[in-house]
Structure 1
């Protein structure tokens, strides 16, 4: 499959990198969203892909956020049309949610600024490893609010008080600040970002990634009523026995060996 705004690099152990390349600043455009959705379909359906990494080809920016010039140019068509504006917000939410719900681990390798929509894309990933730049939901400084899922994901990740503070103040966090509050999982240097992300991705890839996908679905259910979460967890637990992974894991356990999920394919 060909793409205009991203590159897909399939690497060892079933790790696939999505490299965003949408000059000049990796702004979120309609074409980029279409490419990301198609990549989610392609990589999600490929059994040889076990872990997905999202990063940027831009030296200073992970993802810049929405294409503000395009928004201004097209703004007149939505004047007085609240439903049209809602539709644009839902469009971004659904795009990013494809990775949040993908039944495989997804890592954001943040190699530059991740502000506004860029932060929202990173929040939709399971893990965030950051090397430089700043990260934050900065929309209120423009008189807007996060519209691609940011108000929901940041609140669930950091709690209401901290999310309210960061969103209201449009704070741009340095990597270490983001690490301290749990917005990112790991901070490294620009020189080691690829190396350390690769090591972590391969560690995940060597594990029971099908079980991780089912656990991911159950974890998301924890955001709703606990009774509903219990039901989803129970059904997901049952589905693990259809993946073949318990046979590998339990056999290794009784033999006191490390399970070889990757080699068992």
Structure 2
């Protein structure tokens, strides 16, 4: 798989680390969007990928957001709604991946960078700031931010952050539940990989079905319960319940990784 703005490093337990490198500021241009789509499609066809970690090669920026120069310098009309839909579709596909995803934020994640992080399952943050700051430019978050942030931290606080274009540090973001965990920059990589490694050894099939059920909670309770019970039935086709229950009765830790070695 040829990527222009990202590299992938394979670690143990099916953890794959995606490093975003799109100088000068990791803007969400077409190159990043195309590479992200390639990775998403690759996950769907490669069962050895159990966890995705997204990090940045830039020392101070995770993802800067949209390419403002590209948006303002144009000779012809732009279909802004269609452009937003393309990014929304990519982030939706990222959110719906049947494996855990982690945004490893060790630099600024503002605007579209924050929206990218919101589409991941977990956000671990060391340094920099995070926030949906589009209103300071006379814009609004258009890659899912107005939908995902209220679901994550509640409507009142989401309004405050977006209306005032607030930039939060790691501890502030953790206190609101915007990031999963704030860590010291000195131990950032170690803690991210430890977190990912634990997930990699988990029952990935079950975790993917949990994600599917959680996303269904945005609809009616009846519809969500239907997805939940169907997902429960699907777990018995993964082989994971057999190992999990066997380990329980044998009083040992389950080995959900065995499918990769057999």
Distance (whole Å) between structure 1 residues aligned to residue 244 and residue 74 of structure 2:
54
Query: What's the offset of the Cα at 1:224?
Result: 1.3
Whether 1:211 aligns to 2:206 is yes
What SS does structure 1 have at the residue aligned with 2:43?
A: helix
The match for 2:30 is 30
The TM-score with structure 1 as length reference comes to 0.96
The aligned counterpart of 2:248 is 253
Aligned equivalents of 2:75, 2:98: Cα separation in 1: 36
Aligned residue number for residue 18 of structure 1 = 18
SS of structure 1 residue aligned to 2:140: coil
Unaligned runs of 5+ in 2: none
Return the offset for 1:191. Answer: 2.2
2:151 pairs with 1:156: yes
Helix, strand or coil at the partner of 2:77: helix
CA distance in 2, matches of 1:92, 1:42: 18
- Contact 1:96 / 1:121 at 8 angstroms: preserved in 2? yes
Contact 1:248 / 1:264 at 8 angstroms: preserved in 2? no
TM-aligned CA deviation for residue 51 of structure 1: 0.5
Query: 1:256 Cα shift?
Result: 1.3
Unpaired runs of 5+ in structure 1?
Answer: 79-83
Q: How far 1:76 moved relative to its partner?
A: 3.8
Q: How does 1:106-255 map to 2 (within 5 A)?
A: 106-255=101-250
Instruction: Give the length in aligned residue pairs.
Output: 260
Alignment match, 1:42:
42
Aligned to 1:81: none
Query: 3-state DSSP class of the match of 2:19?
Result: strand
Larger mean CA deviation between 130-139 and 8-17 belongs to 8-17
Q: With structure 2 as the length reference, what TM-score do the two structures score?
A: 0.97
